[in-house]
Amino acid sequence: METKLIKLEGTFKLDDNLLVNKETTLKLGIRHKPKKGQAKRFIGYIDPSKPEDDQYTYISSLYSRQGTQQYSLEYDKQPYTLAMTGVNSVVIRKSVKEPVLVYKEPALAGKVE
């Protein structure tokens, strides 16, 4: 079974728990009892060409960015940012994945063996 790629980038109108634009409908959800370390919010795709019971496809968890009204998500190994831009208006755009900080032991100058 092939899955088609969804175009997430763009401006969406927020309608209750749906994000709607000309070509895509996304649905926001809330986990009422998230497990430890699991995001409370998530996002999925509504495919109108499928039967009603099979229309929803999970995309990603939404992780909030501390101190902002933005959320991070990942789709097809590409990071995205979801941000509220006004009343009932949401923008999703690609973002740059921040590199993970790795501790490296400093080289000792003049090390004698």
Whether residue 1 has pLDDT greater than 50: no
- Mean pLDDT of all residues in 16-39: 90
DSSP at 54: G
Are residues 25 and 18 in contact, defined by beta-carbon separation less than 8 angstroms?
Answer: yes
Q: Average model confidence (pLDDT) for the chain?
A: 85
Q: What is the pLDDT of residue 87?
A: 87
Residues 103 and 110: their CA atoms lie apart, in Å, by: 21
Question: What does pTM read for this prediction?
Answer: 0.75
Q: What is the pLDDT of residues 53-104, one digit of tens each?
A: 889 999 999 988 787 888 999 998 899 999 988 888 999 999 887 777 777 7
**Residue 109's pLDDT is what?**
61
